[in-house]
Structure 1
Amino acid sequence: MAKQDISIRTEDGTARAGLFRPSHPTTAGVILYMDAFGPRPALDAMAERLADEGYAVLVPDLFYRFGDYGPFDARTAFSEEPTRTALRSMIDGTSQDMTCRDTATFLDALTQAGATGRIGAVGYCMGGSRAIRAAAAYPDRIAAAASFHGGRLASDAPDSPHRHVSSIKGRVYVGSAGVDGSFPPEQSALLAEALRRAETDHSVYDERGAERHWKRLLTFFEETLR
């Protein structure tokens, strides 16, 4: 497995990204959508683990429109100033539609890396909603979308992921935190109902263990992408 730092030209600028290639050629790829703290060693470690399983993995910087920032400490970034204000500004300033447009170029980057087959999308926290929206925006390419601890998956917002699931052709997996104010039980129920009505192959699960998360994610991708 080898990591390559690349630049991806989008409609709005240039996004940096980490591209992780497996030791053997593969046509299966994964886009790993970051959480609010941005690309960092913790996400690299996740990408490396997926690459070790035989996937080409792309970890793009969704906050590239803000130039240089961070790195942020996930333990304190939301509890201390000025990082709290900076993070909130970037989260609010990076819309779902922006990430959907960017995803076209992310998919192109994976294609150029040889991942011409089925693509998976996985996201954590804010990235979880991005993964589901990506599957809806590019249904002929993204065959599996997984969200872990994703927030606002079925909110009142016009761009809420649950409003777009009827476009998804692939499979969806949602792992929620035990207690999460950004994805309360009523949102979980609303998302599940939207997926059911759309006849989308899906599973919504109350996720509590990190290693259990990996087992389910790897099985989910193995069943769907290969």
Structure 2
Amino acid sequence: MQNKASTSSSQDIRIQAADGSGSFGAYLALPRGGTGPGLVLAQEIFGVNKTMRDVADYYAEEGYVVLVPDLFWRQQPDVQLGYTPDDWQRAFALYQGFDEALGMQDMQAAITALRQRSEVPGGKVGVLGFCLGGKLAYLAACRTDADVAVGYYGVGIDAALDEADRIRCKLALHVAELDGFCPPEARDRIVQTLRGRPNVEVHVYPGVDHAFARVGGEHFHRASALMAHERSVAALKSAIGPNYDLAALWDKHCEYEFGTRNVDDTMGTMVAEPYVNHIPTMTGGVGYKNLHAFYTNHFVNSNPPDTSLVPISRTVGATQVVDEMLFCFTHTTEIPWMLPGVAPTGKRVEIPLLAVIKFRGDKLYHEHIYWDQASVLVQVGLLDAALLPVAGVETARKLLDETLPSNTLLTRPRG
């Protein structure tokens, strides 16, 4: 079973070169709604391969019309390399033979072509690049009419810092601290030259190497990739959109979960392959099929009738909502996702709960839900707070009233 409403579509198109030398191919990925801001994706040295197409599809889910131009077409059209030693050798040969000036003309042609397409009604276009494309993203901020540029571990940016005064749009760069293609002295020059300039962000990721954001790659580092993606989308949205009311989307999701208790409607607010992780109990589901089964069998219809969510604070970011709340219920039914295997105790439970809700475009991608499981166990009578440094309902009460005593566990007599 798949959530077809969340899928995007793709096609291959042709773009005319500005110098009249012919045309080159490009991969075009469209968002679910068919329209959105434009995003030119500048390739790694391996061509418009599966990795680049997957990245394009990913950003299409974010709401962008993504175009990946074939930048090696002047040497060899339709390069799609893998990552074997032979592929690396061929990729470096293509990189060494790449004419950067002509490549930037092709980047501008791609930007112009995308800006003129009916799928980009607002005419706003950004640039996103990796490796070779990371430098081209930097140069796009200096030499093209792009509205925003984001570059990942660009190779050779330090050699083009004399163009920094020509940066004309918002620019965000992601730099790997241990990048073998950007030694420490080059990295330091980039940081010192660009940091502090208006509309320029330079983020250095400690302990990671080149291509830390390439899923499945040797140097993939998930935590850094997630942080970089959050910053990338924030930069793109601030300049070209798209902008969605994430808080309203999350509220509608919660209405289906706890109000109408309709699993299909709940899943309809999510991407094609979402996931939910209740951190303390490791319950939830990964992928549409598993999550649908979890919601049906263990969540949506398993919460006590008097369940309520009391909002305390809300933070809305570029790609996520963070809700701080009280989760309150009387334990009159088994709650498999929170108290798996525990028969109803009839006890009243009130706990602080934190929800981190990530979106792709206007659909929920994942939920990370946190609470203090020890406090839950104390309140249902399965844990003796007198024997351990834990608290029960007091945690919820102090969240609402900060004047209640602090440090009570520190001053409690010890056995």
Partner of 1:36: 45
Partner of 1:179: 178
Counterparts of residues 28-177 of structure 1 (less than 5 Å): 28-68=37-77, 70-74=79-83, 76=84, 79-80=85-86, 83-114=87-118, 115=120, 116-138=122-144, 141-155=145-159, 160=160, 162-177=161-176
8 Å CA contact retained: 2:150, 2:173? yes
1: CA distance, partners of 2:80 / 2:107? 23
Could you tell me which of 31, 45, 58 is aligned with 1:22? 31
* Higher RCO (C-alpha 8 Å, min separation 6): 1
Letter in 1 for 2:202: V
8 Å CA contact retained: 2:175, 2:202? yes
8 Å CA contact retained: 1:13, 1:65? no
Could you tell me which of 209, 219, 223 is aligned with 2:234? 219
8 Å CA contact retained: 2:25, 2:78? no
Secondary structure, in 3 states, of the residue corresponding to 1:205?
strand
Alignment RMSD, CA only?
Answer: 2.1
8 Å CA contact retained: 1:34, 1:126? yes
Q: Number of paired residues?
A: 213
1: CA distance, partners of 2:237 / 2:78? 35
2: CA distance, partners of 1:168 / 1:2? 33
2: CA distance, partners of 1:2 / 1:206? 34
2: CA distance, partners of 1:168 / 1:92? 26
Secondary structure, in 3 states, of the residue corresponding to 1:94?
coil
8 Å CA contact retained: 1:36, 1:87? yes
Letter in 2 for 1:137: R
How has the CA–CA distance of structure 1 residues 73 and 221 changed in structure 2, closer, same or farther, with 3 Å as cutoff? same
Shift of 1:13: 2.8
Counterparts of residues 188-207 of structure 1 (less than 5 Å): 188-195=187-194, 199-207=197-205
8 Å CA contact retained: 1:170, 1:200? no
1: CA distance, partners of 2:27 / 2:92? 24
8 Å CA contact retained: 1:166, 1:195? no
Shift of 1:108: 2.2
8 Å CA contact retained: 2:115, 2:125? no
8 Å CA contact retained: 2:135, 2:157? yes
2: CA distance, partners of 1:106 / 1:70? 17
8 Å CA contact retained: 2:116, 2:123? no
8 Å CA contact retained: 1:136, 1:164? yes
Letter in 2 for 1:206: V
Moved more, 168-177 or 30-39: 168-177
- Partner deviation per Cα, 1:35-65 (whole Å, 9 max, x = no partner): 0011122211111111111111110111001
Shift of 1:195: 2.6
Letter in 2 for 1:42: T
1: CA distance, partners of 2:109 / 2:78? 22
Shift of 1:122: 1.0
Higher helix proportion, which one?
Answer: 1
1: CA distance, partners of 2:82 / 2:28? 23
Moved more, 181-190 or 41-50: 181-190
Letter in 2 for 1:203: E
8 Å CA contact retained: 1:148, 1:174? yes
2: CA distance, partners of 1:206 / 1:192? 8
Could you tell me which of 203, 210, 217 is aligned with 2:225? 210
- Partner deviation per Cα, 1:4-46 (whole Å, 9 max, x = no partner): 2001121233211011122325452111000001112221111
8 Å CA contact retained: 1:18, 1:58? yes
8 Å CA contact retained: 1:166, 1:200? no
Secondary structure, in 3 states, of the residue corresponding to 1:86?
helix
How has the CA–CA distance of structure 1 residues 7 and 48 changed in structure 2, closer, same or farther, with 3 Å as cutoff? same
- Partner deviation per Cα, 1:52-84 (whole Å, 9 max, x = no partner): 11111110111001234653212x2xx33xx44
Structure 1: any 5+ residue segments left out of the alignment? none
- The TM-score, its normalising length taken from structure 1, stands at 0.85
How has the CA–CA distance of structure 1 residues 6 and 90 changed in structure 2, closer, same or farther, with 3 Å as cutoff? same
